[in-house]
Amino acid sequence: MLTMKAQCEHCSSSLPADLDGAFICSFECTFCANCAEDVLGYRCPNCGGVLVERPTRVGDALRRAPAGGAM
């Protein structure tokens, strides 16, 4: 299951699992849209991988597994 981290690893902004605006790499490092685009150029500073838009989690899945994974 995808870890839904609740904060940007760069600026600590909130990233709710049910809203767009989070970007992840293949290691699930997580960044907000502003940091992914403006600061990082869609490259993960941890592994060098491409940052892609994280899917949202809604409904029953969100209730069972909300955002909040360890950073």
20-70: pLDDT as tens digits: 999 999 999 999 999 999 999 999 999 999 999 999 988 888 888 777 754
- Contact of 61 with 22, CB cutoff 8 Å: no
Q: Residue 71 has what pLDDT? A: 41
What 3-state DSSP class applies to 14? strand
3-class DSSP state of 53: strand
Query: Can you give the pLDDT at residue 69?
Result: 54
Nearest to 36 by CA among 49, 27, 17: 49
- Angstrom distances, CA of residue 49 to CA of 13, 14, 22, 25, 68: 21, 22, 15, 6, 22
